[in-house]
Amino acid sequence: MLYPAELRARNGVALLAEFSGGASVLQREYAGRTAQGMTRLAILLPLAALPLTASCARDNGTYPSLAQRPAEKRGFAEPEAPPTAPIAADPTLDARIATMQATLATIVTGFDRDAAKATAGAARSGARTIGSDAWLDAQTALASLDDWRAQASSLATDADGLASARAATLAPPYPALERVRTAAAAEVARQDAAIRGLSARLPGT
């Protein structure tokens, strides 16, 4: 079986042979060599393509899979937190917390009582006159508020110290202690605001 290229080569040879009838010896020799070269080229071209075809057929290379990876199946939702173990009761700490709660209640009651007196004294006639009896009474009531605030601040410091000592042992936060700690800090802030408001109403404070 002859490939199309070989047919063209043979046709080219025939044409060159026909042409060479009236050509010189040199021209006939050139035409003969050209025909032979075309014939060889027609045979070699199909053979040269065979390695490329075989290479494509033998492509056994591995490629990354397009399937969904295990990490992609988990999605972007936050993982559920593991259940926490119940916090063991601490009777000694519970007793201290109960004492702190009672102390805080006493501080709140005493401060509110003396704050009412200080507010009434600051509203009296002459309270804005430095050195007057009304002014002195208001200043005395205001000083008692400073004492309650100092007690509240000390209580908040004690609660912070207990929480820090517990954290140093890597123990989890104790809910009852955290509640009294938060309450003490909030009371200190409340008393600070009340004292600043009354001080602004009395001259020379």
Residue-wise pLDDT tens digits, 57-108 = 455 556 566 666 666 666 566 666 555 667 888 999 999 999 999 999 999 9
pLDDT of residue 126: 74
Q: Does residue 67 lie in a domain region?
A: no
Same domain, 183 and 99: yes
Same domain, 118 and 193: yes
Average pLDDT, the chain: 76
Residue 176, Cβ density class (10 Å: 0-12 exposed, 13-18 middle, ≥19 buried): middle
pLDDT of residue 141: 87
pLDDT of residue 25: 47
Residue-wise pLDDT tens digits, 171-181 = 999 999 999 99
Same domain, 33 and 114: no
Same domain, 129 and 196: yes
The Cα 187–Cα 153 span in angstroms is 9
Same domain, 41 and 132: no
Do residues 114 and 140 touch, judged by C-beta distance below 8 A?
no
Same domain, 16 and 114: no
Closest of 150, 138, 157, 159 to residue 110, by C-alpha: 150
Residue-number span of the structural domain to which 17 is assigned: 4-51
Q: Does residue 82 lie in a domain region?
A: no
Same domain, 25 and 107: no
Same domain, 99 and 181: yes
Q: Does residue 176 lie in a domain region?
A: yes
Same domain, 96 and 196: yes
Work out whether the CA dihedral 195, 197, 203, 205 comes out positive or negative: positive
Same domain, 95 and 179: yes
- Assessment of whether the complete model's pTM goes beyond 0.75: no
Number of domains in the chain: 2
Split at pLDDT 50, 70, 90, the class of 36 is: low
Same domain, 110 and 197: yes
Q: Does residue 24 lie in a domain region?
A: yes
Same domain, 126 and 180: yes
